[in-house]
Structure 1
Amino acid sequence: MAKMLVRMKALMVLTGIFFMLYFGLQPLTEMVEKKPLVSYPKEVVFVNTSECHIAGPLKSAAFKCAIEPINKMRCRKKQLTIAVTKGGNNFLVTQNVAKDLHCKYWLRSARDLKNDKYLEEGHFDLESKSSKEIKMGTGQQIVRIKCLDKFNETKYHDVQYFLPPPDPDLKPEKNLGKLSVMVLGIDSISHMHFYRYFPFVKGFLLNLPHTKFYGYSRVGLDAYANLMPLLSGLSANEVDPELSANEEAFLWQNFKLGGYSTAYGEDNAQGILTHKNGEWGSPRQPIDFDLTPVMMEIDNHTRYSIDLKEMIHCTAGRTYQEVFKDFILKLIPHMQESPFFSFFWQSQGVQEYYEYGGHLDLTYMLLLKKLLDSNVLNNTLILLMSDHGLRAGTYRMSFQGMKEESQPLMVAIYPEWLKEKYPLAMENFEKNAHSLITPYDLHDTLMDVLSLDLLQDASIESRMKSYPAKKMPRGISLFLPIPEHRNCDLAHIPSLFCFCRDLTEVPTDDGLVLRCSRFLVESINKLIKPFEKCHPLKLQMVLQAHFLDFGEESFVYELRLRVRTSPGNGIFEATVRLSDVLLLTSPISRVNNYLSQSYCVSDPGLKLFCSCI
């Protein structure tokens, strides 16, 4: 009994101590855990002018992940050779040889895009667990290697590319009065997609002078339609007729004439800068360093896919992305030697998988770090950018995904001295961060870079005074202030890509909505009518309809529509203007994948609409 009383007293004492500590420390705990007076923003303001307000949530819309894990996609085959240049000579260096192999190689020049003939063919043997150096030649070269075992089974098939560093004996005159330009593009990345999936790059940018252009908008459906205005100052429809008459239409030629070396590379053999008939849209000869012949050789001989959709490719033990990245790294010594205009574009993976962006984050951070460490960033304007957001898939089908498609990434990275030397121009540049801008503006901006004297304060002040008050030009240099009253029409942004205007949802069974939807499908049928192998389409269902608000004083009425058609279950979007006659005011966008339904046509523009008979 005495023991029980002792235990009860001890329990009461402990209980008293507990309450004393709890209530005694509670005020201190509340003080430590005091909530911040300013809560974190839930959305980002992209554009905020008198004519346009665009904002977006930080949190992504719900979406279905890819069937296969993105982070587990790896090239399945071995990498037995690397390309090395030393002493002015090119060598294939073998590694990880597991068994005796007999190899054949085919050598060709990397400077000749049209010539399919090989310069040289040869043989060599590899012994198990040994290394070897095979001398190839000099200069820019492409070599394809195929190795067989004693049973004549292919064990290795790959393409290597030699890009030697500059000759140390030939010291070019460094023109310190020029600013190099690098377009570093990632396809299908919206600004908010970048915000969510690129924490390493975002963190690295905090240590660099840069400006994020939140109001950057697309002006066309695909990469070609959005990059032609950047490269030429012309729309995609205006470019083709100009090519034969004006050989200086593209930035490569402009910068070449300005004393710059030039480079072009994509992680794809069928690049974005192609005509609809498959021919190259940009003149190739002026480009000093071109990855295209390398990617074509790989695509024709050594390509294999590693994803179920067969959209991500490898050669031997490397992805196309790694070949592309290696090309940029090999160019760094050349960028250190002379002024450079380079255009790089990555599209594999990011076009198909929303989560793939996170797979690239560390790669691009390390690339920027390499450019910083090599002092390239000290004399280069880099446009880290995209062409549009994700164009198809489950995320694109959400309302938020629909908006983000028209809000591509655009970040400018520049040296600190640019702000010190051209204060007024750079003040305008940074103030345009939340203005409504387009690829046409980027073209005019880069043309200003060609003549840096145009950025002097006196020149900028003179240009600002003589600015046209009534007729606004299609492209405006970002070194000048973008007018406050600029809207989508003045910026030449089609209605389908413009989110300055409020959208009001309309019932999909409304009579006017159904009439406009049938008109949209009829417009598609007119496009495919000359092709007998394509099924005429029928309206299956109206999925969404929104009324575009042009303001109380406007007599313009437009509907933004999303419809599903049959056969093929194609989902299309467009805007239709209501007047005496119905009128399409935008291109027609397909927002779901057509896969192999369009096998009977080769034109990429028609593949969107054709369901083959």
Structure 2
Amino acid sequence: MRHLRPSITVLAIISCFITIVLYYWGHLPTHRINKMPRLAETTTEKIIVERPMLHVPLNKVYNVLKDDNDSMELIDEHRQVYMIDTPGCKIPIRLINYRKDLKISKKLSNCGPRAVYLRRNDEFNIRVYIAEKTMKEYLRKSTEYECCYRYIRKHDLYFKHGKTDSRYSDCKEIKHGSTFRLEWDFINVQCYDYDSQNVSHVIYNDIYAFAKKISISTQNYKECNIKYNVLMIGMDSMSLNRVGQTMLRTVTFFKQNYWTAFRAYHKIDDNTFPNLMAVITGKNLSVISQRCSWKMDKCKDLLIWNKFKEDGYVTAYGEDYLRLPDTFTNEYAFQEQPTDHYLRPFFMNREIELSNRSTVCAGNVYSGQQLLDYALDFADVYKQDNFFGLFWLNSFSHNVNSRPENADKIFESFFNRLSYTGALTNTFIIFFSDHGIRFGQHRAQMESYFDDRMPFLFIWPPILFTGREVMKYRALVINQFRLITPYDIFDTLVDIKSISSCSNVTDIDSDYTASHSIFDIISYNRTCKEVGIHDKWCSCHNLYPLPIQDNEGMRCVSHVLAKINSMISAIKTKKCWGCMSLELRNILRVHFYYNDDKISLFYVVAFTVSPGNVSYETTVLRKNNNFEIIGPISVISSYRGLGKCTINPKERLYCLCQKIEKCSLIRL
């Protein structure tokens, strides 16, 4: 019995231990396993960091994605739904139905087909692959062909007047499977066949872009434990609503991989330039115009990528569809290369429009695809170093007949491939836009008022950041439901630079003291006025409809039309040309709203004039019995071709040119 007692005691302890293990095994919080983010497969060391906070599901941002029927009506008579609902800003959900366009959407025209493929063999060498079956389609009568490659080079006068003046290296022969050393970023491949007279003819002509790695000395830069990279991908004229409906695969990828999505990212001015400059300089348009007009090269100190370059980062900037023209053109054109890698020479070389400008090609590939491929290569090449890259895409979304839905798979593939480079471990990815659709048939709808003002913003916070900077990541998640502006993105970039340089940056400021890094919790009481959003652009209010026959609405429209004609009379035009007076054709819509104190009454009117069928939208403040136009008068119809006779390009939107009869260009 004495020997049995210890044995019984041991068995009792073991039984209790097994019971406890089985109990907790049956009650494990399995949802945490399901909530774990999908980590990038890296080419170096695998790093697994559990996120300190639960992800805010994108289906809360995109309620519309749950609705499989054609109705986009999310607001009923008994309940008001808001994008954000804070004491400082309430933005109602008003959605244009882009799904109707998907039913009649056509596929992008083919730029190719591509017969010669260039792939990286390693960091320094390129391997050639020739698709023989495809190449035969290019052959004329001959069955033999030869191919060669050459580099696209530029000389010192390349940027003069914004025109291309490229020159090339000697063309060196290549064959399937051959390799060559990468010496420049941009490559041109040509293939020839020969006729019966042994005269060569170019049958294939294509262009390719790779980031040739450059060396930057880091001996003078302060080293931190972690330096975060920045990759910014911009897409023109894409509202949060538009990307949510037309790019479902990309949005789903973000949702599944725990990206942050911002419900109230708000534009601060009309078009691309001021909204993008606010992101990369923190300055408003008046400051940029004063300091940078016709002297953009002297403004480099304002650009955030130069601040990163000072800390040893490699920089890149690229933009496609330069015929628009691009962002940095005319009075804001660079005469010198602004970043270490610059894609303007590439797209100025062989970029063409197809299918009534719905498709833009650079060589045998879509321009947007070329830009994304380069961005991916840039991030992959410098993932072990430090980089800042900004790549802006116009070709998939800018025009009235652009079809971003056809680029959905391209973007999904880009972000998916990016996740397998290993760069996401310490790289912030900022996917954003400048504004929604500003002109076209959708602008006749009331919902377009909000759509224009609400671009999209998605941010991937790197894995190392979410694990080390828990409170900053917490603020980032909370700020998904706050009013955010481009000035805040600039402050956030400054914050990333500060964290990466182990210092508090104090010499880089935006124009607005109320702007904040989104790594700090944004005030719940934030208003448009506090953050520099003009009353013209602010959407923190509901719009209430009025009949188009409403007397006050018609008086308001008449006041705006009289103002336009007054402006027209003062426009200076080229000799023998003038601007026609405009008359009201029809009123598209009339809405009103009150300001916060319920005293000031604002009208938002849209109408079409003749001749020309040009449509305008403007905001008008009613004071007693008088009207005051708030901000600029916006053109909301397609304005291509307007005002070609004006001296000042900024006045062209209000001028329908008319040739003056019996006028001679010859001065006696």
TM class by shorter chain equals 0.7 to 0.9
CA distance in 2 between counterparts of 1:577 and 1:360 reads 41
Stretch moving more, 284-293 or 602-611: 602-611
CA distance in 2 between counterparts of 1:84 and 1:475 reads 43
SS of the residue corresponding to residue 182 of structure 1 reads strand
The residue aligned with 1:577 is 621
Q: Retained in 1: the 8 A contact 2:380–2:423? A: no
Change (3 A) 1:170 1:543: closer
The residue aligned with 1:291 is 343
Q: Retained in 2: the 8 A contact 1:598–1:611? A: yes
The residue aligned with 2:354 is 306
The alpha-carbon deviation at position 443 of structure 1 amounts to 0.9
Q: 1:200-211 counterparts in 2 under 5 A?
A: 200-211=249-260
Q: Retained in 1: the 8 A contact 2:320–2:367? A: yes
CA distance in 2 between counterparts of 1:124 and 1:420 reads 50
The residue aligned with 1:6 is none
The alpha-carbon deviation at position 523 of structure 1 amounts to 4.0
Q: 1:142-181 counterparts in 2 under 5 A?
A: 142-143=187-188, 145=190, 147=192, 150=195, 155-165=203-213, 176-181=225-230
Stretch moving more, 514-523 or 339-348: 514-523
Picking from 56, 81, 87, the partner of 2:93 is 56
The alpha-carbon deviation at position 132 of structure 1 amounts to 7.8
Q: 1:89-100 counterparts in 2 under 5 A?
A: 94-96=130-132, 97-98=135-136, 99=139, 100=144
Q: 1:106-505 counterparts in 2 under 5 A?
A: 107-109=151-153, 113-114=158-159, 120=168, 122=170, 131=176, 133=178, 138-143=183-188, 145=190, 147=192, 150=195, 155-165=203-213, 176-243=225-292, 244=295, 246-270=299-323, 274=327, 277=330, 279-280=332-333, 285-299=337-351, 303=352, 305-307=353-355, 309-352=356-399, 356-452=403-499, 473-505=513-545
SS of the residue corresponding to residue 453 of structure 2 reads coil
SS of the residue corresponding to residue 248 of structure 1 reads helix
The residue aligned with 1:47 is 84
CA distance in 2 between counterparts of 1:172 and 1:317 reads 43
Change (3 A) 1:316 1:539: same
CA distance in 1 between counterparts of 2:264 and 2:304 reads 23
Which runs of 5 or more residues in structure 2 are unaligned? 1-62, 68-73, 76-80, 506-510, 659-668
User: Percent of pairs identical after alignment?
Assistant: 21
CA distance in 2 between counterparts of 1:102 and 1:472 reads 60
The residue aligned with 1:30 is none
SS of the residue corresponding to residue 419 of structure 1 reads helix
The residue aligned with 1:23 is none
Picking from 107, 110, 113, the partner of 1:71 is 107
SS of the residue corresponding to residue 343 of structure 1 reads strand
SS of the residue corresponding to residue 595 of structure 1 reads coil
The alpha-carbon deviation at position 306 of structure 1 amounts to 2.6
CA distance in 1 between counterparts of 2:243 and 2:93 reads 13
Stretch moving more, 240-249 or 477-486: 240-249
TM-score, with length taken from structure 2: 0.73
Change (3 A) 1:576 1:153: farther
In structure 2, what residue type is equivalent to 1:479?
F
Change (3 A) 1:110 1:143: farther
CA distance in 2 between counterparts of 1:172 and 1:248 reads 19
CA distance in 1 between counterparts of 2:466 and 2:541 reads 35
SS of the residue corresponding to residue 336 of structure 1 reads coil
The residue aligned with 1:591 is 636
Q: Retained in 1: the 8 A contact 2:261–2:457? A: yes
The alpha-carbon deviation at position 214 of structure 1 amounts to 0.4
The alpha-carbon deviation at position 327 of structure 1 amounts to 1.0
The alpha-carbon deviation at position 195 of structure 1 amounts to 2.0
Q: Retained in 2: the 8 A contact 1:64–1:395? A: no
Change (3 A) 1:88 1:62: closer
CA distance in 1 between counterparts of 2:119 and 2:598 reads 63
CA distance in 2 between counterparts of 1:58 and 1:64 reads 14
CA distance in 2 between counterparts of 1:65 and 1:372 reads 29
Stretch moving more, 542-551 or 405-414: 542-551
The alpha-carbon deviation at position 486 of structure 1 amounts to 1.8
TM-score, with length taken from structure 1: 0.78
Which runs of 5 or more residues in structure 1 are unaligned? 1-37, 461-470
The residue aligned with 2:5 is none
Stretch moving more, 396-405 or 230-239: 396-405
SS of the residue corresponding to residue 218 of structure 1 reads coil
The alpha-carbon deviation at position 548 of structure 1 amounts to 2.0
In structure 2, what residue type is equivalent to 1:501?
H
Change (3 A) 1:519 1:104: farther
The alpha-carbon deviation at position 490 of structure 1 amounts to 2.0
Could you give the per-residue CA deviations for residues 250-286 of structure 1, whole angstroms, max 9, x where no partner exists?
A: 1111111122111111222247763573652x67534
The alpha-carbon deviation at position 83 of structure 1 amounts to 6.7
SS of the residue corresponding to residue 490 of structure 2 reads helix
In structure 2, what residue type is equivalent to 1:419?
T
Change (3 A) 1:499 1:432: same
Q: Retained in 2: the 8 A contact 1:110–1:142? A: no
In structure 1, what residue type is equivalent to 2:520?
L
Picking from 572, 578, 601, the partner of 1:557 is 601
Change (3 A) 1:416 1:142: closer
Change (3 A) 1:584 1:170: closer
The alpha-carbon deviation at position 347 of structure 1 amounts to 1.5
Change (3 A) 1:121 1:477: closer
Residues matched between the structures, number: 553
Q: Retained in 2: the 8 A contact 1:83–1:162? A: no
CA distance in 1 between counterparts of 2:121 and 2:165 reads 23
Change (3 A) 1:65 1:377: closer
In structure 2, what residue type is equivalent to 1:563?
F
Change (3 A) 1:521 1:148: farther
Change (3 A) 1:520 1:48: same
